[in-house]
Amino acid sequence: MYKRILLKLSGEALSGGKGYGVDLATTREVAGEVREALNLGVQIGIVIGGGNYWRGRSAEGIDRVKADQIGMLGTVMNSLYVSEVFRTMGMKTSVYAPYPIGLYTEVFNKDKAVEDLENGKVVFFSGGTGHPFFSTDMGAALRAKETDCDAILMAKNIDGVYDSDPAKNPDAKKIDSLTYQEMLEKQLRVIDLTAAAFLEDAQIPCELFALRENKSIKRVVMGESIGTTIH
């Protein structure tokens, strides 16, 4: 069982199949699993993507820097919403961002964030890296390294890494385990490749799995591999 993990949640996965916004029932299910993991003594940081609101890379007719800034604010919205659902279910939370956002979040500080984790809070790292051109996968990798996490758990809509796109190739085969180097060489983009290179250098393993799987978060925290292990 891991002692401290960084849970990366897909914004689309939290939409509960709607593809847009956040689904309360899905969020409560996630909160219940996180609460069980906390009760086991696991320290949990969370990064949530913003794709359920905005995808900067696919925005047309707008400057990429501005598009990415809008996307970063989408991750803040997700973190504020999900953290409040967690609070209503009895958990203590804190929300950090890499830049000031009025009274809504705290500016990221490693020492304070680690203290919160050690005190049993679920710590949300919103706002990406604070810079354009970097994905929330990269933001998750950065925060995992800064806060000395044992692993990154990536909960997505897909249940693992495949040797080809399963949406296009019905014969695509799921890969149970691979190295970051293999992922980079084969250009398997289920994780942002910049983040993969960073995690390889940082020696932080990643468990990629489908959020929709029953009790997926708790099972992975307990050491069960239900998707793809990347190391």
Measured CA to CA, the distance from residue 211 to residue 197 in angstroms comes to 24
Tell me what the pLDDT averaged over the chain comes to.
93
Instruction: Using the structure block, give the residue that is written with the tokens 């925290």.
Output: 221
pTM greater than 0.85: yes
Residue 112 is predicted with a pLDDT of: 98
Measured CA to CA, the distance from residue 37 to residue 21 in angstroms comes to 26
Residue 125 is predicted with a pLDDT of: 98
Measured CA to CA, the distance from residue 226 to residue 231 in angstroms comes to 15
Task: Express each pLDDT in 122-178 by its tens digit.
Answer: 999 999 999 999 999 999 999 999 999 999 999 988 888 998 888 888 889 999 999
User: Mean pLDDT, consecutive 10-residue segments, the chain of 231 residues?
Assistant: 94 83 93 94 96 77 91 95 97 97 94 98 97 95 98 90 86 93 89 94 95 89 91 94
Residue 56 is predicted with a pLDDT of: 66
Q: Which residues of 172-204 are buried (b: 16+ CB within 10 A; e: fewer)?
A: eeebeebebeebeeeebebbbbebbbbbbebeb
Residue 58 is predicted with a pLDDT of: 64
Measured CA to CA, the distance from residue 171 to residue 165 in angstroms comes to 9
Q: Residue 46 corresponds to which amino acid?
A: I
The strand pairing partners of 190, in sequence order, are none
For residue 107, how many other CB atoms are within 10 A of its CB? 13
For residue 131, how many other CB atoms are within 10 A of its CB? 14
Residue 148 is predicted with a pLDDT of: 98
Measured CA to CA, the distance from residue 25 to residue 120 in angstroms comes to 24
Residue 164 is predicted with a pLDDT of: 84
Measured CA to CA, the distance from residue 122 to residue 21 in angstroms comes to 22
Measured CA to CA, the distance from residue 214 to residue 153 in angstroms comes to 15
Alpha helices by DSSP H, 89-225 = 110-118, 136-146, 180-186, 193-202, 216-221
